[in-house]
A and B are shown apart, each in its own frame.
Chain A
Amino acid sequence: MSTFIWLTVVTALRILGRNRMRAGLTMLGIVIGVGAVIAMVSIGQGARAAVQAQVASMGTNVIIILPGATTVGGVRGGQGGAVTLTVADALELKKRVPLLHETAWAKRDVMQIVNGNKNWNGPVNGISPGYLTIRDWSFVSGGPFTQADMDTAARVALVGQTVVENLFDPGEEPVGATIRIKNVPFRVIGVLAPKGQSAQGSDQDDIIFIPFTTAERKVFGTMFLGSVGALFASTDRAEDLPEAVEQIREVLRARHRLQPEQPDDFTVRTQVDIGRVQEGTSQTLTVMLFAIASVSLLVGGIGIMNILLVSVTERTREIGVRMAVGAKRRHILVQFLIEAMTLSLVGGVAGILFGIAGARLTTVVAGWPTIISAESVVVAFLFSLAVGLFFGLYPANKAARLNPIEALRYE
């Protein structure tokens, strides 16, 4: 039987080679379908990997607590509209919620920053030292400030890559330089390693960190000492996040003296919540891809079925001869199935090649990241095989059921 199958494959390829134009047009549906799917899956996977990297760049097991909306006479302010979180809240959380590995607080404002004859308008963040640990910032040169810097409200700054590019000449060493933030001189003691875009699309490297105390007393001119823009915390294990969030809410509600019927005056978010939103997006993308793939493979499969039906009619006499010299029904069935699968497989392989080329082109032209996974190639290959098998079944069966006498007489 194996000799038979091998020779049938060779014959099928030869028949396709003879009708190149027809075979090409027939395969076009499969080529386009498989090509589109391969290209889009690789773009989707590239995008997803980028998003995952962004979510991961936030740090590990991060909890963010934002001040809540105020409600004044039924008019609600936006998120973060109220000044409800304080340094004291953070210290209380550190004491009362043992699940938290680290707690920190931060406050930000956009300020004009000057270095010599260059200046830049960037977000200045007053942070407690734990923030750098929670958000997983590392340094390309220099290092973080310390608790002592916090206590003395030292005028030291850490600068992100974007700030470095805009304030310093290429090759100029930022560490040790003095920059002015709102006319207050700061010594740069560290350059942060780049993180790229955030999950929301903002540039995470356009940033300056200074000690929270320095920011509060010397730069921002805060009305309420001790109020913060956001609290940050992290747990050791991802499983602890929900429990930690519950405990944080309890502690903060108690501290803010909220009655049971009053809503929270703060919002607790975790990295998991942010990741979940992204996952939802990629699931939608997957469903759409599946729909496109199904439609194009269906159309391609119908094309194959159509051309095979024509072929069975054209070759009725040949089928009759084959039966007369001893071909059984299953031989004829297998012959036409192999022809169908050869068509769909050649189309599938061409589609895979076009898809990979398309993905590469997308990366080069549009700059989108793409990932061509072995799985998607294997699945596309098997799927095109299955399409050939499925849509070949009807014409092949029609051929196998021909009556040899009538087939031989067919004009």
Chain B
Amino acid sequence: MSEYDAARGQNGMGALIVCENLWKIYRVGDVEIQALRGVDLTINRGEFVAVMGASGSGKSTLMNIIGCLDQPTRGRYWLDGDEVGTLGPDALADIRNRQIGFVFQNFNLIPRTSALENAQLPLFYRGLSLKEQRALAAAALERVGLSGREHHYPTQLSGGQQQRVAIARALVSSPSILLADEPTGNLDTESSREIMAILQRLNREDHLTIILVTHEPDIASYASRELVMKDGRIVSDRRADVLSASAAGRSKT
């Protein structure tokens, strides 16, 4: 019985991500780097997962594979019931476009392009009409509280606002998963709190599955599940009610 079947057995259709014995091996010159060494992971729909670990622990590699930016050297990966570990670049691009929203540490907005147009970007590659693109992007900006700033350029926005544009861009295609790679790494405490509040709201109210990579324990504490990686393996996996309780307490302050 495979991990995926096992997950389905336990959780029915709830499993969104199922990874089975994932390996990722790079070769740099003569040196072989084992970035992932047999990762087994199941994430259900609606979970808010924080992935922690030192740099070089393999968390970025795992994120890249889950985000369909990279493919495992060995092992299998099912996303929403479809095995995606073996797909070609164009099929992966389609999956990223429709199922995955990315939020980066350095926002990665396209410079000298308005907030609205940045938020439109995924729809641009889906071939929607300009009118539909604009309507959906405006709605996404509204969800992150940026109504009225559609025509601001990234340089006219604060760091927190820029990251909110990035979240709107990730939300605009109604993805199944939001992958946030240290989304507060470049933000001050106040903005960090705002961003985390938005993510938490999206998770609780819209049941969006969120995977968050972070170094900081208090950022991780917003999540409902915490994974710790070390040397290419998951060394700790806690579904902690305590964590969510403390996060709830924090969101009140």
Which chain A residues have a beta carbon within 8 Å of chain B's beta carbons? 1, 3-4, 7, 18, 317-318, 320-329, 331, 404-405, 408
Contacts and interface: CB of A to CB of B under 8 A. Distances in A.
A4 B127 contact: yes
Nearest to A8: B124
A323 B67 CA distance: 12
B33 interface: no
User: Lowest 5 CB-CB distances: which A-B pairs, in order?
Assistant: A326-B97, A325-B122, A328-B93, A326-B125, A321-B108
B135 interface: no
Contact of B89 (A1, A7, A318, A329): A329
Given A4-B124, A322-B121, A326-B97, A404 B90 contact: no
B125 A331 contact: yes
A18 to B, nearest CB: 6
A326 B110 contact: no
B89 A4 contact: no
Interface in B127-168: 127-130
Interface string B154-197: 00000000000000010001000000000000000000000000
Interface of B: 64, 67, 69-70, 89-90, 93-94, 96-98, 102, 104, 108, 110-112, 121-122, 124-130, 169, 173
Contact of A327 (B67, B125, B169): B125
B125 A328 contact: yes
A317 B90 contact: no
A324 B67 contact: yes
A18 B124 CA distance: 21
Contacts of B104: 321, 408
A3 B112 contact: no
A388 B64 CA distance: 35
A402 to B, nearest CB: 11
B124 A329 contact: no
Given A18-B112, A408-B104, A3 B96 contact: no
Contacts of A321: 104, 108, 110, 121
A4 B93 CA distance: 16
A331 to B, nearest CB: 6
Nearest to B118: A321
B130 A408 contact: no
B130 A325 contact: no
A7 B127 contact: no
A4 B125 contact: yes
A274 to B, nearest CB: 63
Given A317-B108, A325-B102, A327-B93, A405 B69 contact: yes
Contacts of B96: 323-326
A3 B124 CA distance: 8
A408 B93 contact: no
A240 B121 CA distance: 72
Contacts of B126: 326
Contacts of A328: 89-90, 93-94, 125
A386 B129 CA distance: 29
B153 to A, nearest CB: 12
Given A321-B121, A326-B96, A405 B108 contact: no
A325 B97 contact: yes
Contacts of B128: 3
A3 B97 contact: no
Contact of A408 (B90, B108, B112): B108
A317 B109 CA distance: 9
A326 B94 contact: yes
